């Protein structure tokens, strides 16, 4: 990676109001200096999830010494061992991004960690674990990831009201996105009503997933259909219009006069799955003010190599509306598809979490011998 080219391109994107975050994290990346190097090019945040941690821990021996230490201290539950490992990585990543957080006046430089995905449909337990994680990590620039289920909305509202930063994950539909924006605003209102004057310290992003929508929809379309590879971007552009309404509302303007930050839309799942499509199209078509795009390393390298930077988020809105309307005419139910994707996303993270715990049990017994 050419560091100068990377810095210049990311700077151009930043000037249009978008942050580029890294959708990856590992102990090896931290210890080798690779993460610090990426941050120096302008990468200004990190997202993690159970799948990312499963890959990091299972494919590396970088965690073995800490696992052994934890076992020697009497830790025997794999879930507890995982929490210790993840919290260590998140703390170190937060520290590396703290200068970004300070320089951006608390508007960027965040690191996200997800609550146990098995709690996705349990509001009270999500609140409990989210609060515990935030307290244990003890960094102002950590974000707690809560899945955007109906049960998750109450957890989001409550955590925000407690002054805890939240990343709402697994959003696929505009309806659930709007619930997430409402939960954030309500959480801020409660905090203000409770007498707190620190609204400027609280941040949130709404992680809106992109490529998985095209993967599902394109399976239902004719191979020659003009709609192939277009629905996800259209859906995201219309969600951005919802964002503008939500955060230009009277309810939010009242809060912003007390320092409240907008909840930024974060584009997730933006690596292209279909080889017939341009590999950076989910980045190039969703650049605009108060947005974040979180990318795996391969997509970051592709973007630096041949990405085109323009303010695109509010372009072709009429066409976007027509694309969504065309789905209805074809009897393709986007609401059903996005609802199923949310369920599948939770299951995928649950499976990764279970696999991670099973892998840690293997390491536990290997290190106990």
Low-confidence residues of the chain: pLDDT under 50: none
Which pLDDT does position 156 carry in this prediction?
99
Q: Which residues contact 151 (CB under 8 A, 6 or more apart)?
A: 120, 121, 122, 123, 126
| 165 touches 143 (CB < 8 A) | yes
Which pLDDT does position 363 carry in this prediction?
75
Which pLDDT does position 3 carry in this prediction?
87
Neighbours of 276 (CB within 10 A): 8
Q: For residue range 224-275, list pLDDT tens digits in order.
A: 899 999 999 999 999 999 999 999 999 999 999 999 999 999 999 999 998 9
CA gap 267, 69 in Å, rounded: 38
Q: What is the CATH number of domain 3-362?
A: 3.20.20.70
CA gap 10, 315 in Å, rounded: 21
How much is the pTM? 0.96
DSSP strands (E only) in the chain: 18-22, 45-47, 110-114, 142-147, 166-171, 204-209, 264-268, 291-295
Q: Which residues contact 108 (CB under 8 A, 6 or more apart)?
A: 19, 44, 45, 100, 101
Options 106, 145, 162, 216, the catalytic residue: 145
Which pLDDT does position 367 carry in this prediction?
67
Q: Locate 25 and state its tokens.
A: 């994290």
| Residue 68 designated active-site | no
**Eight-state DSSP code of residue 271:** S
Which pLDDT does position 141 carry in this prediction?
99
Which pLDDT does position 369 carry in this prediction?
58
| 168 touches 207 (CB < 8 A) | yes
In the chain, where the domains are located: 3-362
Q: Locate 141 and state its tokens.
A: 């620039």
């Amino acid at each position: 990676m050419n560091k100068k080219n990377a810095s210049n391109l990311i700077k151009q994107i930043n000037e249009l109001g978008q942050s580029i975050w890294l959708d990856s994290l590992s102990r090896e990346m931290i210890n080798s200096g690779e993460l610090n190097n990426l941050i120096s090019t302008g990468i200004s945040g990190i997202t993690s999830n159970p799948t990312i941690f499963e890959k990091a821990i299972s494919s590396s021996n970088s965690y073995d010494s800490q696992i052994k230490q934890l076992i020697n201290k009497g830790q025997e539950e794999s879930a507890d061992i995982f929490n210790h490992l993840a919290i260590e990585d998140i703390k170190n990543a937060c520290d590396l991004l703290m200068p970004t957080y300070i320089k951006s006046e608390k508007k960027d430089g965040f690191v996200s960690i997800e609550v146990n995905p098995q709690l996705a449909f349990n509001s009270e337990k999500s609140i409990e674990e989210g609060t515990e994680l935030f307290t244990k990590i003890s960094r102002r620039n950590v974000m707690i990831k809560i899945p955007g289920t109906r049960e998750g909305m109450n957890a989001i509202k409550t955590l925000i009201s407690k002054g805890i930063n939240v990343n709402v994950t697994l959003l696929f539909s505009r309806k659930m996105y709007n619930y997430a924006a409402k939960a954030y605003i309500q959480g801020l209102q409660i905090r203000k009503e409770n007498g707190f004057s620190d609204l400027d310290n609280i941040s949130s992003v709404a992680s809106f997933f992109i490529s998985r929508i095209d993967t599902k929809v394109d399976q239902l379309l004719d191979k020659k259909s003009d709609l192939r590879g277009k629905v996800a971007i259209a859906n995201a552009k219309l969600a951005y219009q919802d964002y503008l309404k939500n955060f230009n509302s009277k309810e939010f303007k009242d809060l912003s006069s007390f320092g409240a930050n907008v909840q930024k839309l974060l584009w997730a799942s933006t690596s292209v799955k279909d080889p017939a499509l341009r590999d950076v199209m989910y980045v190039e078509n969703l650049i605009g003010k108060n947005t974040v795009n979180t990318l795996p390393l391969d997509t970051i390298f592709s973007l630096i190599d041949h990405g085109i930077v323009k303010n695109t988020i509010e372009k072709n809105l009429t066409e976007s509306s027509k694309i969504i309307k065309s789905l209805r005419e074809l009897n393709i139910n986007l609401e059903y598809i996005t609802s199923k994707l949310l369920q599948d996303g939770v299951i995928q993270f649950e499976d990764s979490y279970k696999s991670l715990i099973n892998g840690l049990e293997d390491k536990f017994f290997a290190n106990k011998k």
